[in-house]
Amino acid sequence: MSTQTKVRKAIFPAAGFGTRFLPATKSIPKEMLALVDKPIIQYGVEEALAAGCDQIVIVTGRGKSAIEDHFDVSYELECTLEKRGKTDLLAVSRQVSHMVRLSYVRQKEAMGLGHAVLMARDLVGDEPFAVILPDDVIDAKVPCLKQMMDVFEQVQSSIVATQVVEGPAISAYGVLDGKPVAGNPKLFDVSGLVEKPKPADAPSKNAIIGRYILTPKIFDLLEHTPLGAGGELQLTDGIKGLLQTEKVYGYSFEGVRHDAGDKFGMLKATVEFALKREDLGPAFRDYLKTLKL
Ligand code: UTP
């Protein structure tokens, strides 16, 4: 791998159709759906910044311009808020637009997660990078990607975040095969992985979730990987390729992951995030108690 040892860039694939959230996602990018009052992609961008990334690459497609507008300066809005003396709201709006260096690259056809990551190749270059799936919102004391960065500093190899998934639900994930690393129960030395296995064929309960640190070797591999299941280029096929020549680790992160790209997951995340908010939590808790469930 390259001599660069610090992860500075984070790729956000955001060009999918978000079909699980139709009809909302017909005209609104899934990544812009609000969890309480913040688009889900902003949680991920904040996580990447907190982990030390200073360059964000968002992979977009048709109908996704709201994402670019969100992270841009909204001159009219800011002027109006300034005139009205709404300094709190002005700060909220400015905080987003002044956040970070953002680049956008287009995925012309939604040909899978691996293909979306490959679109960012020229912007990433020959250095290790992070991938954050914006619909996985992770609530953690230490941001999940920061936890992974700390592991990366030691292992200097690709790392995929995992969580234990019980029962038939495992079939919705990429699942790791391998063994725990001696002395570090949170790390898993990966020997193989299976995409969306039948429950009986799952090699473990360790499912891959939407946080990765990858070495740039994966770009060459993705470039030469044939389209897989559903005519899509799977990121997991690229990771399988990495395993032929490099170490790959699974990392069982500390925190709670919410699948906000799914209606039920979004509902649960909304309740949990709202309850934790100082401004909304107490009133929301009282309201929930009045519901006859
Ligand atoms: P998902 O599979 O969760 O997103 O991909 P999706 O395909 O948009 O959603 P559903 O399943 O139809 O509801 C995870 C992330 O990868 C992006 C998506 O935008 C999402 O943020 N993605 C997926 C791409 O950027 N390009 C693709 O070709 C596929």
Lowest mean pLDDT segment, chosen from 29-33, 82-86, 162-166: 82-86
With a cut of 70, say whether residue 109 has pLDDT above it. yes
| Ligand 1 center from residue 12 Cα (angstroms) | 10
∠ CA 158-209-160, rounded to 5°: 10
- Residue 110's pLDDT is 92
With a cut of 90, say whether residue 93 has pLDDT above it. no
| Ligand 1 center from residue 253 Cα (angstroms) | 22
- Tell me which of 31, 62, 133, 136 to substitute to probe ligand 1's pocket, judged by most ligand atoms within 8 Å of the beta carbon: 133
| Residue showing tokens 């990551």 | 117
| Residue showing tokens 């914006």 | 134
With a cut of 70, say whether residue 4 has pLDDT above it. no
Produce one character per residue of 78-108: b if its CB has 16 or more CB atoms within 10 Å, e if not. eeebeeeeeeeebeeeeebbeebebebbebe
The DSSP code for 182 is: T
Which residue ranges have their beta carbon within 6 Å of ligand 1?
13-21, 30-31, 59, 107, 110-113, 115-116, 133-135, 261
| Ligand 1 center from residue 260 Cα (angstroms) | 12
- Give 164's pLDDT tier (boundaries 50, 70, 90): very high
- Residue 38's pLDDT is 95
User: What phi and psi, each to the nearest 5 degrees, are found at residue 136?
Assistant: -90, 105
* Token pair in block for residue 98: 């002044």
| Ligand 1 center from residue 16 Cα (angstroms) | 4
With a cut of 60, say whether residue 2 has pLDDT above it. no
- Specify the pairing of strand 256-259 against strand 136-139: antiparallel
CB atoms within 10 A of CB 46: 16
Residues 243-265 have a mean pLDDT of: 97
Q: How far is CA 92 from the centre of its chain?
A: 23
Q: Quote the CA–CA distance of 110 and 64 in Å, as a whole number.
A: 12
Residues 264-293 have a mean pLDDT of: 96
- Residue 226's pLDDT is 87
Q: What is the CA radius of gyration of the chain?
A: 20
pTM of the model: 0.94
Q: Quote the CA–CA distance of 125 and 27 in Å, as a whole number.
A: 33
Amino acid (1-letter code) at residue 207: A
- Tell me which of 21, 31, 35, 113 to substitute to probe ligand 1's pocket, judged by most ligand atoms within 8 Å of the beta carbon: 113
Which residue's alpha carbon is nearest to atom 9 within ligand 1? Answer: 18
| Ligand 1 center from residue 14 Cα (angstroms) | 7
Q: Which atom of ligand 1 is nearest to the CA of 262?
A: 13
| Ligand 1 center from residue 289 Cα (angstroms) | 36
Which residue's alpha carbon is nearest to atom 3 within ligand 1? Answer: 261
Please, what are the domains in the chain? 9-261 (3.90.550.10)
- Tell me which of 12, 22, 30 to substitute to probe ligand 1's pocket, judged by most ligand atoms within 8 Å of the beta carbon: 30
In angstroms, how far apart are the furthest CA atoms of the chain?
63
- The chain-wide mean pLDDT, for the chain, equals 93
| Residue showing tokens 């990987």 | 225
Q: Quote the CA–CA distance of 72 and 2 in Å, as a whole number.
A: 33
Q: Quote the CA–CA distance of 235 and 119 in Å, as a whole number.
A: 12
Q: Which atom of ligand 1 is nearest to the CA of 111?
A: 28
Q: Quote the CA–CA distance of 92 and 83 in Å, as a whole number.
A: 16
